[in-house]
């Protein structure tokens, strides 16, 4: 097994101090090469089998989150899958969400005016589950500030009250180990910590398909897709593939290779690397007399009041985010201690 450093050096060569994975992850060289080949093959009239790439990506994501591939739907958007789950709920159902969670994970529930959406602080989600709560919907790691939800407590509280759980792992999958088997539904985009192109997202459903109706099912949702192109689909896929969106094929041609890289390195190794850098940054902020939003165990560090320095940092070749006035730095496998020190140096003036 190659070391993380060796693999990363072969795949990534950023020209900036790139600390913005929470917005968009960098693409590995293998992914760029695969997409280039797919585009060129299409231009030459000899397209590659990109539907095979979809299946390879599905299988890879399934292994990363610990479920069989038959439980994974392949699409392009978390919001679409949130909407699918929202549509499955009965009139008057109560959905429990976290304050200021990412809109893709919560807004479709608000659009259905006949649902009762209750919003509480992230730290209070588990204790706020009650009899009559139908669904708990929360991001594993908060986009705005990196706080990590107490997923085991949320899971146990939901089970105690007969509620289903829907976890958006878009800001977690790739650096935080995810056991999708512990929850009813898991959704994730792949263009952040899974270092894939935009246009790739996944939904994990229970073995019994979770009571979801395939409202947007097209021909790709058929048990035999190429026999399902005309008229009503006679036989829907017996697996989660019935919830597939028509895939962004060039994105999946690359994503299979990005996901394979994360598998090759191992999420636990990525986590150790990312958290070491995040902790180094937190310690450095302390020496500057600055306190980040408390988010222990997170690869995302958010610093209140410093968001206005984002443009200054970008001009200095350091890419971070300005989120709600906070400076958000996200540390991933292609970052180094030197990147952390450079950020601290510029912040110190």
CATH of the domain at 104: 3.40.640.10
Rounded CA-CA distance 306/282 in Å is 14
Q: Is there a contact between 114 and 134 (Cβ–Cβ < 8 Å)?
A: no
Number of domains in the chain: 2
pLDDT at position 4 is 82
pLDDT at position 22 is 98
Reply yes or no on whether the pLDDT at 93 is more than 50.
Answer: yes
Q: Are residues 258 and 225 in the same domain?
A: yes
| Residue recorded with tokens 């500030």 | 145
Could you tell me which residues are beta bridge partners of residue 327?
Answer: 303, 322
pLDDT at position 1 is 43
pLDDT at position 321 is 98
Q: Are residues 100 and 210 in the same domain?
A: yes
pLDDT band at 132 (very low <50, low <70, confident <90, very high): very high
Q: Are residues 59 and 111 in the same domain?
A: yes
Select from 249, 264, 279 the last residue of a domain: 264
Q: Are residues 95 and 14 in the same domain?
A: no
| Tens digit of each residue's pLDDT (9 = 90 or more) over 137-161 | 999 999 999 999 999 999 999 999 9
pTM for the complete prediction? Answer: 0.97
Q: Are residues 216 and 270 in the same domain?
A: no
Instruction: Identify the H or E element spanning 270.
Output: helix 267-287
Reply yes or no on whether the pLDDT at 349 is more than 90.
Answer: no
Q: Is there a contact between 135 and 108 (Cβ–Cβ < 8 Å)?
A: no
DSSP letter for each residue of 284-302: HHHHTT--PPP-TT-SEEE
pLDDT at position 324 is 85
pLDDT at position 2 is 63
- What is the mean pLDDT of the segment spanning 304-317? 97
pLDDT at position 58 is 98
Select from 264, 293, 316 the last residue of a domain: 264
Tokens of 146: 């990196």
Which residues are CB-contacts of 209 (< 8 A; sequence separation ≥ 6)? Answer: 240, 242
């Amino acid at each position: 097994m190659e070391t993380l450093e060796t693999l990363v050096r072969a795949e990534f060569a950023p020209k900036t101090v790139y600390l913005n994975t929470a917005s968009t992850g960098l693409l590995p060289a293998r992914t760029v090469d695969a997409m280039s080949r797919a585009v060129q093959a299409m231009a030459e009239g000899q397209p590659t089998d990109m539907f095979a790439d979809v299946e390879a990506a599905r299988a890879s994501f399934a292994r990363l989150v610990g479920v069989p591939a038959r439980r994974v739907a392949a699409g392009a958007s978390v919001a679409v899958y949130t909407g699918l789950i929202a549509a499955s709920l009965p009139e008057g159902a109560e959905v429990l969400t976290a304050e200021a969670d990412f809109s893709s994970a919560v807004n479709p529930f608000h659009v259905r005016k006949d649902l009762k959406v209750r919003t509480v602080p992230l730290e209070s989600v588990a204790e706020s589950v009650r009899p009559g709560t139908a669904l708990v919907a929360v991001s594993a790691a908060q986009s705005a500030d990196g706080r990590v939800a107490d997923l085991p407590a949320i899971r146990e509280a939901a089970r105690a009250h007969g509620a289903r759980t829907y976890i958006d792992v878009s800001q977690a999958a790739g650096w935080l180990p995810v056991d999708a088997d512990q929850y009813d539904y898991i959704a994730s985009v792949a263009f952040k910590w899974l270092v894939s192109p935009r246009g790739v997202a996944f939904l994990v459903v229970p073995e019994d398909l979770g009571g979801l109706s395939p409202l947007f099912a097209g021909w790709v949702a058929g048990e035999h897709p190429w026999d399902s192109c005309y008229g009503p689909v006679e036989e829907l896929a017996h697996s989660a593939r019935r919830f597939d969106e028509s895939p962004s094929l060039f994105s999946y041609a690359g994503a299979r290779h990005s996901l394979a890289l994360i598998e090759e390195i191992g999420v636990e190794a990525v986590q150790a690397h990312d958290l070491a850098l995040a902790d180094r940054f937190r310690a450095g902020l302390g020496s500057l007399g600055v306190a980040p939003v408390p988010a222990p165990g997170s690869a995302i560090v958010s610093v209140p009041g410093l968001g206005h320095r984002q443009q200054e940092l970008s001009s200095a070749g350091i890419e971070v985010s300005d989120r709600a006035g906070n400076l958000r730095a996200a540390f991933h496998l292609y970052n180094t201690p030197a990147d952390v020190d450079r950020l601290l140096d510029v912040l110190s003036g």
